[in-house]
Structure 1
Amino acid sequence: MAVTLTALDVMRDAPVIPVIVLNDVAHAVPLAEALVAGGIRMLEVTLRTPQALACIEAIARQVPQAVAGAGTVRSAADAAAAARAGARFAVSPGYTRAVGQACRDAGLPLLPGVATGSEIMQAQEDGFTELKFFPAMQAGGPAMLKAWSGPFGDVRFCPTGGISTANAAEFLALPNVACVGGSWLTPADALARGDWAQVTALARQACELQRRPG
């Protein structure tokens, strides 16, 4: 029986949640194994391709050390389909009450996307205090998160969007950031070549990033 996760569990497992776009189901299992070998278990497979749900299902069935999650969840139907495929958490680019309720109904911890104070307040009103800040760089970057630390001191964020090895440490140094999301752990050229050793090396480097405790 799978252990019940919370959104904070997902965020605290490693400094980085990989944002994964898969176009080939055959890549799903070796990619997940490569990330796990590098210390990354929480895997956000985005629902941006027709193969995404099949990829989540393959990871959930064949890589028990990984925790497959669904990203780009935009509707109640997305949440239900992700849960049926074996996803154990969900990430959305924005927030609606319908998506929030659907994830609760499906037993999926949700990291709702927010970019404004009003969106944070709406998500908090519905009981969500672990949020995805998206698109992080375009929406204000570390300066915005610092400004939010006053009025929203009880919220923990996963900034995603424009995060790279060049700026991840700056985000992770903030007290209200629990982790970051990034696509650099799974570069398209490495997937095309089947270079799983590169993916493992990038995951290991990501795990060495320092976070503030808390």
Structure 2
Amino acid sequence: MGATGADIESRIERARILPVVVIEQAADAVPLAKALLAGGLGVAEITFRTAAASEALSRIRDEVPNMLLGAGTVLTQSHLLAAREAGAQFIVTPGFNPAIVEASQSAGLPIVPGINNPTGVEQAMALGLKTVKFFPSEPSGGVPFIKALSGPYPEIRFVPTGGIGPGNLANYLALRAVIACGGSWMVDTKLVRDGRFDEITRLTAEAVALAGSAR
């Protein structure tokens, strides 16, 4: 990440948790963002898994400006353009696509691309990146695998995502190479769909407390 990216990375690292959000209805975006803030998390990754993603990003950017806002599941150039126009401040991808990484860098958007092996780490390093998403974390070997990768690549930092929840969050955050963990348990799609934003705030506060105890 560059200069702006360093600040964004610092904010994600302070949060320790990166909520991975799927929004089906754009009208839920602002209440969801406010619920996260009320629970103590000022960052969110809005995924491009639904048609509402761009509008959700725009609404949060306009109405909850204190939220650090990322766009996730960015798979195409059109996703990247839509995320940029909607006000996303950083990009997250599930895999490593050099074309998307380079386009994001050219657009001035910090990017955290997904990898789950040494080759992916070295591809990221070749493009000047020092922070990557480790995905899918649990199926790919989880904590032991990240420890193994940290041996030959001590300068690389990870945002593990996939299969992480309250039961194993602390194990990941105990690793020096991990800056934050991506997760969706506090923003479960059904909770958002049902408008249970108070429950999202409660779960978020619990997650923040758990992350804090793992420092």
TM-score, normalisation: structure 1: 0.93
Aligned 1:163-174 pairs, distance under 5 A = 163-174=164-175
Distance (Å, rounded) in 2 between the aligned partners of 1:81 and 1:114:
23
Alpha-carbon distance in 1 for matches of 2:208, 2:145:
25
How far apart, CA to CA, are the structure 2 residues paired with 1:211 and 1:120?
29
1:36-75 matches, within 5 Å, as 36-75=37-76
CA distance in structure 2 between the partners assigned to 1:16 and 1:55 by the alignment: 20
In terms of mean alpha carbon deviation, does 9-18 or 28-37 score higher? 9-18
Instruction: Say whether the 8 Å CA contact 1:44–1:70 is kept in structure 2.
Output: yes
* Paired AA for residue 20 in structure 1: V
- Contact 1:156–1:178 (CA under 8 A) maintained in structure 2: yes
Cα distance in 1 for residues equivalent to 2:11 and 2:112: 9
Q: CA deviation at 1:192?
A: 2.4
Residue 24 of structure 1: how far off its partner (Å):
0.5
CA 1:69 to 1:122, structure 2 compared with 1: closer, same or farther past 3 Å?
same
* Residue 82 (structure 1) aligned with residue 99 (structure 2): no
* CA displacement at 1:129 relative to structure 2: 0.6
Q: Give the match's secondary structure for 2:133.
A: strand
- Rate the CA distance shift 1:4–1:15 in 2: closer, same or farther, 3 A: same
Moved more, 20-29 or 71-80: 71-80
Percent of aligned pairs with the same amino acid = 38
Q: Which runs of 5+ in 1 are unaligned?
A: none
Taking the aligned partners of 1:109 and 1:141, their CA distance within structure 2 comes to: 25
| Structure 1 position 187, deviation (Å) | 1.6
Tell me the residue number matched to 1:34. 35
- 1:49-72 CA deviation, whole Å, 9 max, x = no partner? 011111011101111111221000
Match of 1:140 in 2: 141
- Summarize the alignment of residues 51-200 of structure 1 with structure 2, pairs less than 5 Å apart: 51-200=52-201
Segment of structure 1 superposing worse, 104-113 or 155-164: 104-113
Q: Name the stretch that deviates more: 5-14 or 24-33.
A: 5-14
The gaps in structure 2 that reach 5 residues or longer are none
Q: TM-score, normalised by structure 2?
A: 0.93
CA contact (8 A) 1:179 1:211 kept: no
RMSD, matched Cα: 1.6
Tell me, yes or no, if the aligned pair for 2:113 and 2:133 is still in contact at 8 Å: yes
